[in-house]
Amino acid sequence: MEQHILIVGLGGVGGYFGGMLARKYENSDIHINFLARGNHLNEIQQQGLTVVLEKETFTIKPDKASDQVEEFNTMDYIFLCTKSYDLEETLSSLHTCVGPSTVFIPLQNGVDSKERIKKYYPNNLVVDGCAYIVSRLKAPGVIEVTGKWGTMNFGLDGEHDVRLEGLHDLVQKADIHVNYSDKIEKIIWDKFIFISSMATATSYYDCSIGQVMEDPEKRHAVIRLIQEVEALALRKGIVVSKDIVNETLYKMEQMPYDATSSMHTDYINKKPQTELASLTHYVISESSKNNLPTIVYQCMYDDLQQKTMSDR
């Protein structure tokens, strides 16, 4: 049976997972499609997408790569791998390839993607999802993966769906580490605590995660960040790992010394938009609604917001 899968956003996350899927299902009834743009798209269309892994490099062309949504068939699954600030614009453009049975899988850094997608597609199945991976768009048409992680997580809390079971098998056969869970909320928030604290700290200190971890003062600030997000999760009634502080620090310590967050990279490159709203301000806003202090988050956010304004 034919299936159609769309990868939206071919950066580090979408490029890796999309590349792995396209390689596995080349010339098959499972059609892998890329929605990309600019020079990156041009290179993929002409030369293919190159994925550089630790032990191998491969180049693959998807069934179709385009920046025109109208060119795609109705999709069975749509992986949303754009930055969180692009989500609404992306969702508003997808209507022509969304059918009643289309499933959305967001693989973004925030914790509110599902509810944002539901506003546009209330009748479709939307799961929670996240990825653990250290990867980047190295050059147009080239994705570089470093570090130990390359894991996709998705699911519905307390529920199972046959379409998701099929997707799990499909992804797993592409040699991707994948976890289909009915306790996805915990996984999403564990990841959010990790990426929010890391992105905020690396951006604020303007240095790699290795430099943050080796400096006692910076490391202590990261611990404070983790504790502030943990308090928010618990106030919301979300169960996170019991030893979330040490588990999060361990994840950071296992990353390559020179690795940093995509938000920090956007600041380095003076991008007009960053994930500051979804990764940093979200914690402050939601904590305020729940009468929780966010002293360290607020301090770092104020500095980063000023930096954002001065870079414009």
Q: What is the pLDDT of residues 150-190, one digit of tens each?
A: 899 999 988 889 999 999 999 999 999 999 999 999 999 99
pLDDT tens sequence across 136-155: 999 999 999 987 668 999 99
What values do phi and psi take at 192, rounded to 5? -65, -40
State the pLDDT at residue 310. 67
DSSP 49-102: EEEE-SS-EEEE--SEEES-GGGSPPEEEEEE-S-GGGHHHHHHT-GGGEEEEE
Segment 20-25 mean pLDDT: 98
Segment 20-40 mean pLDDT: 98
Q: What percent of the chain has pLDDT over 70?
A: 98
**Do 258 and 207 contact (CB within 8 A), yes or no?**
no
DSSP letter assigned to residue 280: I
- Tell me the sheet residues that pair with 285: none
| Collapsed DSSP state (helix, strand, coil) of residue 138 | strand
State the pLDDT at residue 312. 54
CATH superfamily label, 186-311: N-(1-d-carboxylethyl)-l-norvaline Dehydrogenase; domain 2 (1.10.1040.10)
Per-residue 3-state assignment (H helix, E strand, C coil) for 154-213: EEECCECCHHHHHHHHHHHCCCCEEEEECCHHHHHHHHHHHHHHHHHHHHHHCCCHHHHH
Sign (positive or negative) of CA dihedral 93, 97, 102, 108 = negative
Distance in Å from the first CA to the final CA of the chain: 50
Distance CA 170, CA 179 (A): 12
> Is the pTM value of this prediction over 0.75?
yes
pLDDT beyond 70 at 17: yes
Domain boundaries, the chain: 3-182, 186-311
Pairs from 284-288 (Cβ < 8 Å, separation ≥ 24): 286/232, 286/236, 287/228, 287/231, 287/232, 287/235
Distance CA 200, CA 216 (A): 17
252-274 residues labelled b (16+ CB within 10 A) or e (exposed): beebeeebbbbbbbbbeeebeeb
What is 3-182's CATH number, 3.40.50.720, 2.40.50.180, 3.40.1160.10, 2.30.30.60? 3.40.50.720
State the pLDDT at residue 159. 83
- Min mean pLDDT across 127-131, 160-164, 208-212 is at 160-164
pLDDT beyond 70 at 311: no
Q: What is the mean pLDDT of the chain?
A: 95
pLDDT tens sequence across 86-106: 999 999 999 999 999 999 999
Read off the tokens for 251.
């994840």
State the pLDDT at residue 223. 99
State the pLDDT at residue 283. 98
State the pLDDT at residue 134. 87
